[in-house]
Amino acid sequence: MFTHHFVARPILSAVISILILLAGALAMLVTPIEQYPNMAPPQVSISASYPGATADVIAKTVAAPIEAQINGIDNLLYFYSTSSSSGNVSINVLFTPGSDPDTNQVNVQNRVSQAMSQLPQAVVQKGVTVQTQSSSFMMVVSLFSPDGRFDSTYIDNYTNLYVLDELKRIPGANRAAVFGMPDIAMRVWLRPDRLAQLGVTTQEVANAIQSQNQTFGIGQIGSSPALPSVQQNFVVTAQGMLSTPEEFEDIIIRTDQNGAAILRLRDVGRVELAKLDYSIGSRMNGRIATTMAIYQQPGANAIETSRLVRERLSELKQQFPAGLDYTIVIDTSEFTQESISKVEHTFFEAVVLVVLVVFVFLQSLRATIIPILAVPISIIGTFIGMHLLGYSINMLTLFGMILAIGLVVDDAIVVVEAVEENMARHGLSPFEAAKRAMSEIAGALISIVMVLLAVFIPTMFLGGVTGTLYQQFAVTVALSIVISGIVALTLSPALAALVLKNQHQEKKGFFL
């Protein structure tokens, strides 16, 4: 019988269990932590802007062409769009659970590229953004001015330049975003009466701004081919993009026949540096604020990511200008950590109860040690399979481990009872009793594992959200059962041969 090799070589049996224990401990350290497995369908968001257009125009000229191309994409579940009178459109595309988010994003990007030729030129110039999107955020952070010395434009711009990019560099938080559009832009306020008086249209003003606010490559002086006397060449530089309101106000709208400026932008309006979009605003306890949402990257550790974000915000606060502060409004990792902490308490309580029950019924400390050692090896070893399968430490996997505590000791208890029975009935030594017991029950131990697997494995093949919800639970229990079977066939008989003694006393009372 192959189990006799492990009975005769206890060091080999111990090494196998130690390797399982160490590998499981290492996998546990790198396995991501979250409250629940990712049950929401993968989602890709498409956003575009059409300044000045109504919601109906945006829906017909922007959303409709993109939706026509998206329809029929691989793994598509459904999609919906939202067009607003602020000039923004958002299309959310949801895919079947289990599909690859990166592949979904590439497929959507390809379909959007096919629709670009049908979109208005203003939309194409501003660009269409395609990105994967999480269904819920992990943290919400607000920057505000306690004494009200800074307005929303300053806070938005500071957050966008000096805070948001720093948070995006944190592992697991690279999907941080500011609610709204924090970018700064030049806002041109035109005077309708002057436009009507001079016969100037808004399109004429827009064309002038677009044509004169550009960077041009002028060329070089003295570049080859040149006269023999020319020994140097110089790159000609010119004024690039306009950067101040005064420069924008100097833009020429009309000229006379000789090319002299007769009408400038300042003659029909004024220019100011302000926010690009005012459609979304946020407040913190009544004060003007800028709010950021931090989305957890798939596979990241929520608790570790939250800790790194808090540390980085504390470092950045040292550089904040006087009168600017921040507060963490929402941190779902706190609830995750508290929930997992409660589950951990339940886990250790279950271990203690199992130890007491095994000791009471086996009535021997030596015999109790053998099945109890199977618990940490089987439970910690489960993290190996979880890590290889890309699972996380969450409420369902921890619940599966709690349930498995009572199952993983069964195989070892069967081994101990069989060895005890052979020693008591046949008067064998622990070593011989262990060999004989394994010859009798090795097939039964394998059958126990197979029967338990037959209960949980079918759950892995459920589809939809239900399958996603219970898959990790079933796999966790199945993995722990498989490892407990390995321990029962290797370590448990070897320990029984070394630990148990052929000394039996008459049982009394309840244990007759």
pLDDT band, very low/low/confident/very high, at 486 (cuts 50, 70, 90): very high
Residues 349 and 438 in one domain: yes
Calpha distance 480→404 (Å, rounded): 7
Residues 16 and 90 in one domain: no
What SS3 class is residue 33? strand
pLDDT band, very low/low/confident/very high, at 382 (cuts 50, 70, 90): very high
Q: Which of 331, 472, 333, 350 is nearest to 403 (CA)?
A: 350
Residue 184 included in any domain = no
* Tens-place pLDDT, residues 450-485: 999 998 888 878 776 677 778 888 999 999 999 999
What is the identity of the amino acid at 108? V
Residues 372 and 486 in one domain: yes
Residue 442 included in any domain = yes
* Tens-place pLDDT, residues 235-274: 877 777 788 888 888 888 888 777 676 888 888 999 988 8
Residues 402 and 463 in one domain: yes
Q: Over the Cα atoms of the chain, what is R_g? A: 35
Among 102, 135, 168, the domain-final residue is: 135
Residue 220 is inside which H or E element, if any? strand 219-221
Residue 375 included in any domain = yes
Calpha distance 61→49 (Å, rounded): 11
- Here the CATH number for the domain that contains residue 401 is 1.20.1640.10
Calpha distance 204→189 (Å, rounded): 14
Q: What is the pLDDT of residue 336?
A: 75
How many of the other CB atoms lie within 10 Å of CB of 282? Answer: 21
Residue 274, beta-bridge partner list: 185
Residues 29 and 82 in one domain: no
Q: What DSSP state is assigned to residue 506?
A: -
pLDDT at residue 312 tops 80: yes
DSSP H helices, 31-151, are: 55-58, 64-70, 101-115, 121-126
- 414, 441 in Cβ contact below 8 A? yes
Among 120, 135, 150, the domain-final residue is: 135
Q: What is the pLDDT of residue 109?
A: 92
pLDDT at residue 1 tops 80: no
Residue 398 included in any domain = yes
Who wins on pLDDT, 506 or 90? 90
Residues 7 and 128 in one domain: no
Q: What is the pLDDT of residue 503?
A: 63
Distances (CA, A) of 130 to 108, 111, 133, 299, 330: 8, 11, 9, 21, 26
pLDDT band, very low/low/confident/very high, at 408 (cuts 50, 70, 90): confident
Residues 26 and 47 in one domain: no
Q: Which two tokens stand for residue 244?
A: 């101040």
Distances (CA, A) of 111 to 23, 83, 166, 377, 436: 44, 20, 32, 50, 68
Residues 63 and 24 in one domain: no
Calpha distance 377→24 (Å, rounded): 8
Calpha distance 6→64 (Å, rounded): 69
- Here the CATH number for the domain that contains residue 93 is 3.30.70.1430
Residues 69 and 29 in one domain: no
Q: Which domain holds residue 500?
A: 3-36+336-504
Name, in order, each residue with C-beta under 8 angstroms of 114's C-beta and a sequence gap of 6 or more: 69
Lowest-confidence region among 70-84, 106-120, 289-303: 289-303
Residue 83 is inside which H or E element, if any? strand 76-83
The full DSSP string for 264-298 is EGGGTEEEEEEES--S--EEETTEEEEEEEEPPPT
Q: What is the pLDDT of residue 315?
A: 92
Across the range 358-374, mean pLDDT stands at: 81
CA 41 to chain centre: 13
Residue 69 included in any domain = yes
**326 phi and psi, to 5 degrees?**
-140, 160
pLDDT band, very low/low/confident/very high, at 110 (cuts 50, 70, 90): very high
Residue 160 included in any domain = no
pLDDT at residue 394 tops 90: no
pLDDT at residue 343 tops 90: no
- 241, 281 in Cβ contact below 8 A? no
Residue 65 included in any domain = yes
Q: What DSSP state is assigned to residue 60?
A: I
Who wins on pLDDT, 79 or 226? 79
Whether omega for the bond prior to residue 458 falls within 30 degrees of 0, making it cis, is: no
Calpha distance 169→175 (Å, rounded): 10
Residues 32 and 97 in one domain: no
Counted residue by residue, the chain has a size of 512
* Tens-place pLDDT, residues 119-160: 988 888 888 888 876 666 788 999 998 888 888 888 888 888
Task: Specify the number of domains making up the chain.
Answer: 2
Q: Which two tokens stand for residue 190?
A: 């035109």
* Tens-place pLDDT, residues 41-66: 788 889 888 877 888 899 999 999 99
Name, in order, each residue with C-beta under 8 angstroms of 23's C-beta and a sequence gap of 6 or more: 381, 384
Q: What percent of the chain has pLDDT over 90?
A: 18
Residues 45 and 58 in one domain: yes
Name, in order, each residue with C-beta under 8 angstroms of 342's C-beta and a sequence gap of 6 or more: none
- 405, 354 in Cβ contact below 8 A? yes
Among 106, 135, 164, the domain-final residue is: 135
Name the average pLDDT for the chain.
Answer: 84
Residues 9 and 48 in one domain: no
* Tens-place pLDDT, residues 171-228: 888 778 888 777 788 889 999 998 898 888 888 898 888 888 877 777 778 777 777 7
Residue 426 included in any domain = yes
What SS3 class is residue 181? coil
